[in-house]
Amino acid sequence: MAEANCVKPFTMKHFSRSGCTLKVPMSLFRENRERLVSRLQTNSEVSAEGTFVVLQGGEEVPFNDTDVNWPFRQESFFQWCFAVEEPGCYGALDLAAGTSILFVPRLPPEYAIWEGRLRTLEEFKERYEVDEAHYTDEIAPVLKEKRAHLLLTLSGKNSDSGLCAREAVFDGIAEFEVNNSILYPEICECRVIKSPEEIKVLRYVCKISSDAHKVVMRTMRPGMMEYQGESTFSHYVYHTGGCRHVSYTCICGSGHNSSILHYGHAGSPNDKVIEDGDICLFDMGGNYCGYAADITCTFPISGKFTEDQKLIYNAVLKARDAVIAAAKPGVAWTDMHLLANRVVLASLKEGGLLVGDVEDMIKAGLNEVFQPHGLGHLLGLDVHDVGGYLPNHPERSKEPGLRKLRTARILLAGMVLTIEPGCYFVDCLLDAALENPDQAKFLVAEELKRFRGFGGVRIEDDVLITETGVENLTDVPRTVEEIEKEMER
């Protein structure tokens, strides 16, 4: 514990928060840069000589018009390449030499009074294992000195948000030829396949997040507020795991709220009292060194499942188990989604809520009524990681269910994804299905009545695709029996 109490030298070549948290070596990010350079060197559109990748890091964002800033999180592509914790930086990669340059802001002397000692360029160079360090007001002169003529900048649309990546701009950039179309798909492809060192970080953040979910299960009681589950989770991942941030706004839905896919937003900030008999769907993930976990646990607040809760929970668990057993390199993610849909619909039929042929149900789009989201998504430096829909890969389907998928790719070893089947009872979707003759014929309306207000169940695991199948990075109670034992009171 002595290490946790001492001041860490700035020039340490790893990221960590204490002696008890994972040490992430800066070599991880050097290897990422090397992977990107190697990939670009094989691109026929690029001549390595005189070509440089230029990335712009994140900036501090003020809270409205005040002098207070939002907590800083590094821009994800910049994090992947440089892992720099400070805002306002730039980075460059020389494709011919394979070398890296970090550009940091030239700060005024008074910075030392408010923010701490000014670091030297040599310290930045050593800290982040780059070949050179300069100030951001020197970008153009440095690149000119190195005879740069073509700059590859980042510009591309994120297929989940629809927003575009931030393209680097700096004083003097007009003096160079700039190409903003080559880099984005190439760096995204690099991020899709995780390196062994990246996988170590993801294992760590998934373990810390799994442990936090177990603490939440053991802590929650009827009469508590949903946000107390969020608070318990956030405290654990930071206090024990060094995760200063969570990867997304925590979803802590109980009762009917568990059917709201992105509950917990500003208009519904996990502010309901959890009542005895409620099912709780808690979707939360820590973030460590920029890498995200994304885990959902569903459990009864009473600690014991009712028969109806068991029916829906086990339907989703069977779907999760079927996908984990079938997923491996060469398998289409769209097929995994439909597999999960078939298992859930078959279980609902067995439970008396549906009648008819499961394949006919899917043709009618009934799968999207009970699971109005995709099976899962790529995971990494973003919770919905980049690479879902890139050139030369399957495009987004227009079919019910499949159209909601965040990727339709063929699985490859080294991918990390979430597997998150669900089953929800959403009034507006049920009402529309009952009014649609193509779907209503499968619904047992009288049986479905008692599930109005039930909410929903989601089981979400973070998994690594291996050469032979799946490694589940998530470690939480999953069966009814395991959950009830974890919650014994």
So which residues are the catalytic ones?
67, 262, 283, 294, 373, 377, 384, 420, 424, 458, 460
Rg (Cα) of the chain, in Å, rounded?
24
Half-sphere exposure of 242 (CA within 13 A, CB side): 18
Question: With contact defined as beta carbons under 8 Å apart, do 423 and 370 qualify?
Answer: yes
Identify the sign of the CA torsion 138, 43, 41, 37: positive
CA atoms of 18 and 423, how far apart (whole Å): 40
Angle between helices 226-239 and 196-219 (to 10 degrees): 140
CA atoms of 222 and 301, how far apart (whole Å): 6
Q: What 3-state class would DSSP assign to 390?
A: coil
Who contacts 121 (Cβ-Cβ below 8 Å, separation ≥6)? 104, 133, 134, 135
> Which has the closest alpha carbon to 370: 446, 315, 295?
315
Q: What 3-state class would DSSP assign to 385?
A: coil
β pairing state of 100-104 and 245-246? unpaired
Phi, psi for residue 149 in degrees, rounded to 5:
-125, -25
How far from 418 is each of 320, 333, 364, 379, CA to CA, in Å? Answer: 10, 11, 26, 7
CA atoms of 96 and 350, how far apart (whole Å): 63
| Type of residue found at 370 | F
In the sheet with 177-179, reading across from the earlier edge strand, the strands are: 132-135, 100-104, 90-94, 51-56, 150-152, 177-179
- Exposure pattern of 250-278 as b/e (b: 16+ CB <10 Å)? bbbbbbbbbbbbebbeeeeebebebeeeb
Tokens representing residue 68 in the block:
């207070």
Hey, how many other C-beta atoms are within 10 angstroms of the C-beta on 64? 7
Tokens representing residue 363 in the block:
């043709």
> Which has the closest alpha carbon to 229: 244, 213, 242, 245?
213
Decide: residue 368, CB within 10 A, 0-12 exposed, 13-18 middle, 19+ buried.
buried
